[in-house]
Structure 1
Amino acid sequence: MRTISFSEATLEAMREEMRRDPTVFVYGEDIVRQGGIFGQFKGLPDEFGNRVRDVPISETAIVGAALGAALTGTRPVADMHFADFIGIAYDELANQIAKNRFMFGGQANIPLVIRAPDGIANQAAAQHSQSVEGWLQNIPGLIIVTPSSPATAKGLLKSAIRQNDPVIYFEHKMLYPQKGPVPEEEFFTPLGKAEIIRPGKDVTIVTYSIMVQKCEEIAKQLETEGIDAEIIDLLTLKPFDRETVIASVKKTHRCVVAHEAVVTGGLGAEIAATVQDLAFYWLDAPVVRVGAKNVPIPFSPLMEKYVAPQKEDVIRAIYRVLHREG
């Protein structure tokens, strides 16, 4: 199996789907001129011409046009440049894209993908470092995914493009240069299905995006202390795979949820509530959440590190559910 970067994996997914289906097109800011701000669209204009387009800086227009294009039979992929700006198009997402299929009795599909680079990234500061999946969790009608590796980046993007409902595709900015194994043959990562990337028996760690790698490192470290952690990579955040999470918690009897987003109102709260609802009598300790502190992401490198969740925070949470000192 060859090794390629996260960015190259998403580029492969776009190229394969655009070759297969002429109704797929992509547009956003600086895609043609720059190849995307992180190089994730580099070379596409050379092959696909006007199916790859630069557009003015208007997130409202970008997202609104995606709905119109999807309703008329194409499969648009719209790039948000930075996920932080998705709030500008919140009405289009919440009141139009998410609701059209329901409001018209299922007569129209809404096959569109919104790509949204997110996450804390080397002093990008308060307006370019957010994890905003929590903003969209409370909107019925949207599917939310977030890959954690080059392979899941490609597999999820291909599945999202072929999906007949709107998908928000969050891609962490710090993952773009990271490399990993990706199959050469065609494959898909199913939407709505989590992956147990490390089996264990002592504690369940539910996580996603860049925190998956940190949790893998933590699990290896804790293994030397006799702690056997099971790691679940959610991959799809909405709807998340309840069955896999609950089955794991019933086995380990303990649960820690770790994400880079702010803890308050984050996905961890929904997961914790679901575990309490469906697996309360199997728990030997309360569910513990780990995430960013409830402040805007600072510019200062030291303060950025202080606000962001660190491996030590996850380890302390695991010690807590195991009733251990640390």
Structure 2
Amino acid sequence: MSQMSVVEATNAALRQELARDPKVFVYGEDVAHYGGMFRVTDGLLRDFGADRVIDTPISESGFLGMGLGAAMAGMRPVAELMFIDFSLVAMDQLLNNIAKTHYMSGGSVPVPLTIITQGGGYRGAAAQHSQMLEALLLHLPGLKVVLPSNAADAKGLLAAAIRDDNPVVFINHKQLFGAKSEVPDGEHVVPLGQARTMREGTDVTLFTYSYLVGMGMQAAEEAATQGVSVEVVDLRTLNPLDWETIAASVTKTHRVVIAHEAHLRCGVGVDLSHQIQSRLFDELDAPIQVVAALDAPIPFAKELEDVVLPSPARLLEACLGAVHG
């Protein structure tokens, strides 16, 4: 095991897969000579060459279309979108072409394309560089969506994404890039579609992912001092969703809080709440609580950003409310 940051672990996964499979190549804006906006691709050009680590023009729609073509031709491209906010200019490629090609070919043309991007706020980067847009990607079938919360998962989940024969959007959180934790040495792969219970509990389950996992752990620790036992489940992948782990935890605690940084309306929390209530209604002892960003653009001013985005205090309040009413 080695101590790595999320940036280093993501880089390690790319190195692992580039070395393992000659069909893998990495491309995107500033990924080669500069090493990536957040240094995720640092050193890859030097070690793997210009045929496999490629800078592109500033044209997200264009280079995602290129990746689709390469994937259909048998390659395993890994595209980097500098910010998930920039995916909005490429939604036709993402949702009409990349997500649908395998289905519309009758299953005869796989699309092993991985898209790495970064999302999230808490940095004062304002409304156009602070969003979490995973719900948009989940709305239309065809894309797998992955959001790691730590370095080990960043390495293992990205490796699994690159090896998958379906298109995968892999979303790192900018606030996690410097966070260090132990990462297995050598080849490390974490299967997609497996949630992880980060903390056992008996009174209420907190389902979350990405940067809010850390906040959830803080809230659970504080709740324990107030006599409430919170189980924290890191969903890790939103499609496929690990329903077995979700159902087991709901059946165990009978109370649910769902937390995510994206906006509340039409978000993952609303969707998961519906699934739990429609399939496990008799197991619930209290209404499901959802903690999310308020329905406003993410502000630049730190004081306002703190109001709009979730906090450990809001997660704690929801967990205590689910138990005490």
The TM-score, its normalising length taken from structure 1, stands at 0.98
Contact 2:122 2:306 in 1 (8 A): no
Partners of 1:285 and 1:181 lie apart in 2 by 37
Bigger shift: 73-82 or 24-33? 24-33
Match of 2:254 in 1: 253
Q: Give a deviation string over 1:205-241, Cα, whole Å, max 9, x none.
A: 0000000011111111111111111111001011211
SS of structure 1 residue aligned to 2:49: helix
Structure 1 equivalent of residue 242 of structure 2: 241
Q: Residue in 1 aligned with 2:109?
A: 108
Structure 1 residues 124-273: aligned runs within 5 Å: 124-273=125-274
Q: Which residue of 1 aligns with 2:58?
A: 57
Which residue number corresponds to residue 99 of structure 1?
Answer: 100
C-alpha displacement of 1:105: 1.0
Segments of 4+ moved more than 4 angstroms: none
Report matched runs for 1:289-300 at 5 Å. 289-300=290-301
Give the aligned residue type for 1:280.
Answer: F
Structure 2 residue 325 is matched with structure 1 residue 287: no
Matched, 1:44 2:33: no
Aligned-pair distance for 1:185? 3.0
Task: Name the amino acid aligned to 1:132.
Answer: L
What amino acid maps onto 1:28 in structure 2? G
Matching residue of 1:27: 27
CA contact (8 A) 2:116 2:171 kept: yes
Whole-Å separation in 1 of the counterparts to 2:261 and 2:142: 24
CA distance, structure 2, for counterparts of residue 315 and residue 20 of structure 1: 44
Q: Distance in 2 between matches of 1:83 and 1:32?
A: 19
Secondary structure of 1:322 counterpart: helix
Local SS of the residue matching 2:132: coil
Matched-pair contact (CA < 8 Å) for 2:264–2:292: yes
Query: Does residue 1:315 correspond to 2:286, yes or no?
Result: no
SS at match of 1:56: coil
**CA-to-aligned-CA distance 1:219-264 (integer Å, 9 cap, x gap):** 1111111111111100101121112111111110100000111111
Conserved 8 A contact 2:228-2:320: no
Matched residue of 2:182: which SS?
A: strand
1:123 equivalenced with 2:107 (yes/no): no
Q: List alignment gaps of at least 5 residues for structure 2.
A: none
Residue type at the aligned position of 1:282: E
- The AA in structure 2 aligned to 1:26 is V
The Cα of 1:323 is off from its aligned counterpart by 2.1
Q: How many residues align?
A: 324
CA contact 2:119–2:131 (8 Å) conserved in 1 = yes
CA separation in 2, counterparts of 1:130 and 1:224?
33
- 1:311 maps to a residue whose letter is P
Among all aligned residue pairs of Structure 1 and Structure 2, give the percentage whose two residues are the same amino acid: 46
Gaps of 5+ in 1: none
Which residue does the alignment assign to 1:70?
71
SS at match of 1:276: helix
User: What is the letter of the counterpart of residue 113 of structure 2?
Assistant: L
Alignment of 1:78-89 (within 5 A): 78-89=79-90
Cα-to-partner distance string for 1:122-147 (whole Å, 9 max, x where unaligned): 11110000000011111111100000
Q: Distance in 2 between matches of 1:303 and 1:225?
A: 29
1:126-181 CA-to-partner distances (Å, cap 9, x unmatched) read 00000000111111111000000000000000000000000000110111111000
Matches of 2:194 and 2:14, distance apart in 1: 22
User: CA separation in 1, counterparts of 2:285 and 2:264?
Assistant: 22
Hey, what's the Cα distance between the residues in 2 that align with 1:74 and 1:262?
Answer: 35
1:122 and 1:102 map into 2 onto residues whose CA distance is: 39
Q: What are the within-5 Å matches in structure 2 for residues 3-22 of structure 1?
A: 3-22=3-22
- TM-fit CA distance, 1:121: 4.0
CA RMSD of aligned residues (A): 0.9
| TM-score normalised by the chain length of structure 2 | 0.98
